[in-house]
Amino acid sequence: MKLRGPFLRLALLAALAVLWAASPALAGQSDDDCLTCHGDSGLKTDQGRSLFVDSTRFTASIHGSAGISCADCHTDLKKFTDFPHAAKLMPVDCASCHDEAAAAIRESIHGMPHSGAEPIIVHCKDCHGTHDILPAKDAQSHTSPMNIPDTCLSCHLERVKTTLGPGFAGRYKESVHFRALSKTGLSFSATCLSCHSGHSVRTVGDPQSKVSRRNIIRTCGTCHTGIERDYLEGVHGKDYVKGSLDVPVCTDCHNEHDIQSPEDLGSGVYATKVAAVCSRCHDNELLARQYGLLTSRLKTFSASYHGTASKFGEVKVANCSSCHGHHGIRPSSDPLSSINPANMASTCGTCHPGAGENFSKGRIHVISEKRENRWAYTVKIVYMVVIVGLISVFLAFIAADLYRRMRIRWKR
């Protein structure tokens, strides 16, 4: 390829010179004819739009190297005999060759007529480029994994308004996926295409979309196969399969575009933030009633040492997932559950080596001490009475003391 560019340029120039000199009356339009004018980098329309075609880049492109000529795409050129030709050519119809892709686009959000005040019409060239189209495998291509984020963001950063705000798509650049792509250089890390697909991009509300609630598990599972398997075995996954839309899917806990590693402070599932994520549903009265969940999970967790320390930013203490697991959470009735009474000792033993049966002799999420730990309740009540009583006595003594001193002062 490297050699071919300059070589071809030379060859082209030579051929051009010969043709120009030898047969000015030769009929039909070869690429060289076009480049006679369009090879001039200064060629512009009256409006100042450049009409320059970089022959080097074109010949290097997938179309150029396949021997496709200008007139194969700009089909109306064939009708012209006089040059320079009419000022405006018809738009190129990629569908004449790429009918499958074109059909997919027509079905996608990019092919839908936009209802906004400024309709945005997306053409093939907006993503793929024009004369310089390269196969996606090529690192230089606009559609190569490395370049896809910038290609999509050229519109989706500002021009396209989504319900989640204009910067929503841009947050991908904060994600661990983009990090892998840009810092580590892993071309198989997830880009826009991996989740939204290429031509058949659909809105999240569209059930056929790869990122809809119905499909997101499969989509993420394409790469995260083991996690998908765990999820489907867990209590959330089992209801998900039954068609429940209330169960959390990947994006509910991990966010959409700015997915970060759980070790990252910015992650929604960072050790100290897990409790807030889980309690979004597990402390939700409506869901609790519908599915028979126990509520006050966050409150009872926060009141424990684990929860308190976690609130102060300690990451070593247990959070929800330390005991309940994460992707494959099972109900305590399940013998495989980490919080099944039979497994409690080993679950607690992860942090508390030698944890024995005593760990299960008591409640973890204590909602009502009155019912669940009678002694603790009694102790609390006694302390309340003592504290209130003693402090009242102290204050009464202080008040009496100050009262006497005031009296003496008044008398004077």
Partner 1 sequence: MEEIATKTLIRDDEVFLRMNLAERIQHILLVVSFSLLVVTGLPLMFYELRIFKSLFGFEKAFFYRGILHRAAAVILIVDIIWHTGYAVLTRRGRDNFKEMIPRLRDGLDAVALFGYNVGLSHWLYRKGILRKFFDRHPFWKFENPPEYGRYNFVEKLEYLSVAWGSFVMILSGFFMWNVDLSLKIFPLWVHDIFVIVHGYEAMLAFLAIIIWHMYNVHLNPEVFPMSKIWLNGRITGHELKTLHPLEYRKILAERQKAFEAGGAGPDPVSSS
List of residues contacting partner 1 (CB under 8 A): 302, 305, 307-309, 311-314, 316, 352-356, 358-364, 366, 373, 375-376, 379-380, 383-384, 386-387, 390-391, 394-398, 400-401, 403-405, 407
Torsional sign, CA 170, 176, 178, 182 = positive
Closest distance to partner 1 from the beta carbon of 338 (Å): 17
Closest distance to partner 1 from the beta carbon of 340 (Å): 16
Closest distance to partner 1 from the beta carbon of 208 (Å): 45
Q: Residue 259 is inside which H or E element, if any?
A: none
Compare residues 101 and 376 and give the one whose CB is closer to partner 1. 376
Q: What is the DSSP letter of 360?
A: G
CB 60 within 8 A of CB 5: yes
Q: What is the dihedral of CA 274, 277, 278, 284, to 10 degrees?
A: 150
Compare residues 2 and 312 and give the one whose CB is closer to partner 1. 312
Compare residues 89 and 345 and give the one whose CB is closer to partner 1. 345
CB 208 within 8 A of CB 193: no
Compare residues 154 and 308 and give the one whose CB is closer to partner 1. 308
Residue for token pair 């944890």: 355
C-alpha atoms less than 13 angstroms from C-alpha of 171 in its C-beta half-sphere: 13
Closest distance to partner 1 from the beta carbon of 317 (Å): 9
Closest distance to partner 1 from the beta carbon of 328 (Å): 26
CA distances to 66, 105, 288, 292 from 129, rounded to whole Å, are 17, 16, 52, 54
Compare residues 20 and 397 and give the one whose CB is closer to partner 1. 397
Compare residues 78 and 405 and give the one whose CB is closer to partner 1. 405
Count Cβ atoms within 10 A of the Cβ of residue 239 and give its class: 0-12 exposed, 13-18 middle, 19 or more buried: middle
Phi/psi of residue 246, each to 5°? -85, -20
Closest distance to partner 1 from the beta carbon of 336 (Å): 23
3-state class (DSSP) for residue 366: coil
Q: What spatial distance separates the first Cα and last Cα of the chain, rounded to whole Å?
A: 109
